[in-house]
Amino acid sequence: MRRRPAASHRTAANRRRGKTGTTMKKKLNLFCTLIFVVIACHLLSMSNTFFTGFSAGMKHGMEERSVTETTPSNFSHITLLPAVMDETTAVTVTDKATSRQLTAWPTQLIVPLNDSLGPGAAVFRLLYTLLYGAAAVAALVAFILFVRNVNRNAIFTRRNITLLRVVGWCLVATGAIATADGCYDTYLAQRSFSLTGYVVDYGSAAYITSVIFGLFAVVVAEAFAIGLRMKEEQELTI
């Protein structure tokens, strides 16, 4: 009975490992692409509201307005919660499809800000915008560099650990900055608007999703750090 040479066994094993590695790399690229798209869409959706409010605030703070002007040029989004759901806090709306009159309790409103924001508010808005933009760009760039390193077969490296930590903490920062801006908008709206029987909901201004994404990336980075440490200890043992 003839035996296959050892070299043939090694060649076949290398081919199988090569195919397995290629398949795993394709799957990883697909997952990374999906994660990148989700993060990018999430940051863009946050930026849409964030920068819209910023541009309106800057315009309102920098424009010269006459004393007799009564039409507000700045608006803010506010979330309300009815203290009691009865006829005292209800409003009547018309159903366009059936033309029926319905009772409803509004929870989200866009209200005018009658008070001038002033230069201080404009400076704070500018600072928020710069910090948010820098954190968002840093997170996306670090994630792209991480994917590039993985495609170059450099997976358990200190650079990748650093990149994942940058992604994580930058996402946490974007959530914190957006939350601060949302709370500030709600505060300004509360100064200009009050509805009897309703309380302002500051909790809706929190952007928890970014914080969760960021903390998950930090956990993955720490898992990579443990894997790298185990790899280095194994190499020293051998």
48: in domain: yes
Query: Of the candidates 144, 137, 173, which has an alpha carbon nearest to the alpha carbon of residue 160?
Result: 144
222: in domain: yes
For residue 208, give its domain range: 43-63+116-237
199-219: pLDDT as tens digits: 888 877 788 888 998 999 999
Paired sense of beta strands 108-112 and 75-82, if any = antiparallel
38: in domain: no
How would residue 138 be classed by pLDDT, with cut points 50, 70 and 90?
A: very high
Q: Is 106 left (phi over 0), alpha (psi -120 to 50) or beta?
A: beta
Among the ranges 67-76, 80-89, 105-114, 130-139, which has the highest mean pLDDT value? 130-139
13: in domain: no
Cβ atoms within 10 A of the Cβ of 3, count? 7
123: in domain: yes
227: in domain: yes
Count: domains in the chain: 1
How would residue 67 be classed by pLDDT, with cut points 50, 70 and 90?
A: very low
